[in-house]
Structure 1
């Protein structure tokens, strides 16, 4: 057990985190209050804490660490409410990107780039990930540290692990969080984050923290929570580097497709060299040559929206958050922070957004007609997009894989 945690166990007061630039300390934010729970839920969580102890200890967590950390475990009804919450409508990609790459976020990113210039230079030199990409992840995840989360991680993960809906997943995260405490990187009271357990400036889940977090400042702690973002930014770069980021290469580019382009090639399953795409008439939006590498072409809003050539580095961002919209947000926020152009093609902004019920109905009807065999969850991932494209192809329409209200009417036989 580390000396930092031994001290915390002895005093029940965690170490103060350092201030930006090293040295000094800062007052940890006040944790969000936990609302009262029913007697049954509190008793159930208490029994879970007792029964889970043996599993944690068999996974390498010491008895002292477990008992000290789980002393603050409480059932948090707010966590369950947030876990059950599902938006009635999913935001279209263009509204998502309007928010992700807003003028205020670009301005803040440029200010942070200047403020942490030397730190970002050192991180980029070590890991090969451009500063604008690291800054963009920071901006997307916590609005550059402004929204790191104020919920205590141990009560949140204990509640989710006990609840059972995704119990096994959160039990693994709970054990990982206990190992972080055992290493002495933070104390239980100051281990804060989101309701689902994401922590710090760049919102690492505990298992990802254990695998990728680094002590870039050399102070003996991998501190992603304090006001100084150095360790968090370096940890993000380390994550991307170990996820396959290719030093000196681009993430991709916005492209134009020729009029006779075979739309059956759209999607991440088709990968070709930039030279091959260029030979088919694909050009870079705004001029210039396509970035080198092997990549795919995606059209997140279908044939009436922009097209993007995505390369290996885009896929590295997807390993951080497996959402094309998120990866586009990081990519273009980075472009704008670096002073380059944003997305230039137009979006089909007049399209009516689909409700969650309608999205599930599309999946159900595609399944009934033999095009889809995935989960009926209302989430349009690659499986749904492939099924939509196959349905469109069978009907003789442009197979762009983009689901709309018109597609739903067609599936209904209208």
Structure 2
């Protein structure tokens, strides 16, 4: 595989020839797994070289690890909450049916839809979505760490086309093979996909009912507790350590842990585990079973908590009682977009105006801070926006 990587970087002609040989040889593997030659040929029609952007993303993943405040600020915004509420009204008849059939909260499904694909907007973005066959073939051919995964996912994706759920030319995904509104990898799609709208196809790319029902099916099959929450924000008593693992909410209350909103725990016998994603100085949570079911979608505490918090706000509940340990005064969503626009107007920023602070926004802020003689922390602060307005 090292030789393949050398060939890819050494010259495109040799790399293309090697890639084309790989595609030709993998055709037999696909046929052995129930995929017709015609389906395979349609899937790879016009694909003659690896996707260099896929390899760039695979090899050079960002080293930056977001702080808790940044992770949640980018996912829980006024715009995402408002859009979720609007879509809850728009899709109410389908959400009623999905919630009735699978027992999963509509607000949880809307939050997953938001975080996974920005309510489907990412599917319209050519910089995000690309040809799945080319992406996975690129990884299988030129990325030794992901080759086995990519081969298995490519077979599963081609089986989806063979079944007739999506046409070969509509088979798009993220660079790593996550598909549709709710971003399922092909093998997970095979395990959980649902034809909710009854058109004979399980189409999570074009059918919102199919996509949301598929997400609901995954959660239900992994033990979702219908009608129950994912957890509670709590206040911890000072001056003591807390046990690891789970115990009943009544036992947590017995050692002084109370809900942040002052209300009692509605089901004291439920078991819960303490999580403090921002340390003892930040908000604390007692997580019940549904939190860990959400982690079957994405095995990350931050992800599951973001889904739960966003779902609650889409449902109309208030936000956190105790905020994250943010080392600056937070901007509103509109102010963050204004910051990006002003940085763009000054030539520092070329990315989307979306209110989300990623590496591009941070680099632009740092460049502006350097010019203004400020500490170069990259934080989207009130101070930075004030200076930008002064320009």
TM-score, normalised with respect to structure 1? 0.72
Unaligned runs of 5+ in 2: 1-10, 329-391
CA distance in 2, matches of 1:319, 1:291: 25
CA distance in 1, matches of 2:26, 2:42: 14
Please, which of 326, 334, 356 is the counterpart of residue 311 of structure 2?
334
The one-character-per-residue Cα deviations of 1:32-54 (angstroms, maximum 9, x if unpaired) are xxxxx811221121111122233
Please, which of 45, 67, 71 is the counterpart of residue 96 of structure 1?
71
Please, which of 165, 185, 189 is the counterpart of residue 209 of structure 1?
189
Unaligned runs of 5+ in 1: 1-36, 352-414
CA distance in 1, matches of 2:239, 2:53: 53
Please, which of 230, 250, 254 is the counterpart of residue 251 of structure 1?
230
What residue is the counterpart of 1:106 in the other structure? 81
CA distance in 1, matches of 2:292, 2:27: 38
What residue is the counterpart of 2:172 in the other structure? 192
8 A contact 1:185–1:223 mirrored in 2:
yes
CA distance in 1, matches of 2:249, 2:114: 30
CA distance in 1, matches of 2:151, 2:266: 43
The one-character-per-residue Cα deviations of 1:272-291 (angstroms, maximum 9, x if unpaired) are 11122112211111111225
CA distance in 2, matches of 1:128, 1:311: 17
CA distance in 2, matches of 1:349, 1:166: 36
- Report the count of equivalent residues: 310
| 3-state secondary structure, aligned to 1:178 | helix
CA distance in 2, matches of 1:281, 1:301: 20
What residue is the counterpart of 2:302 in the other structure? 325
Please, which of 278, 286, 292 is the counterpart of residue 301 of structure 1?
278
The one-character-per-residue Cα deviations of 1:125-161 (angstroms, maximum 9, x if unpaired) are 0000011000000001111111124311111111111
The one-character-per-residue Cα deviations of 1:294-336 (angstroms, maximum 9, x if unpaired) are 1200101111111111111011110101111111110010000
Map 1:5-404; keep pairs closer than 5 Å: 38-73=12-47, 74-148=49-123, 149-163=128-142, 164-226=144-206, 228-263=207-242, 265-266=243-244, 270-292=245-267, 293-350=270-327
| 3-state secondary structure, aligned to 2:228 | coil
Q: CA deviation at 1:198?
A: 0.9
CA distance in 2, matches of 1:279, 1:72: 66
CA distance in 1, matches of 2:55, 2:299: 23
The one-character-per-residue Cα deviations of 1:2-31 (angstroms, maximum 9, x if unpaired) are xxxxxxxxxxxxxxxxxxxxxxxxxxxxxx
CA distance in 2, matches of 1:345, 1:40: 58
The one-character-per-residue Cα deviations of 1:356-394 (angstroms, maximum 9, x if unpaired) are xxxxxxxxxxxxxxxxxxxxxxxxxxxxxxxxxxxxxxx
Q: CA deviation at 1:72?
A: 4.1
Q: CA deviation at 1:64?
A: 3.0
CA distance in 1, matches of 2:312, 2:240: 27
Q: CA deviation at 1:254?
A: 0.6
Between 1:169-178 and 1:87-96, the stretch displaced more is: 87-96
| 3-state secondary structure, aligned to 2:137 | helix
The one-character-per-residue Cα deviations of 1:227-267 (angstroms, maximum 9, x if unpaired) are x411101111111111111111110111111224423x25x
CA distance in 1, matches of 2:222, 2:116: 18
8 A contact 2:113–2:212 mirrored in 1:
yes
8 A contact 2:39–2:168 mirrored in 1:
no
| 3-state secondary structure, aligned to 1:75 | coil
CA distance in 2, matches of 1:57, 1:199: 23
| 3-state secondary structure, aligned to 1:302 | coil
8 A contact 1:72–1:155 mirrored in 2:
no
RMSD across aligned positions (CA): 1.6
CA distance in 1, matches of 2:61, 2:51: 18
1:61/1:291 Cα in 2 relative to 1: closer, same or farther (>3 Å)?
farther
| 3-state secondary structure, aligned to 2:299 | coil
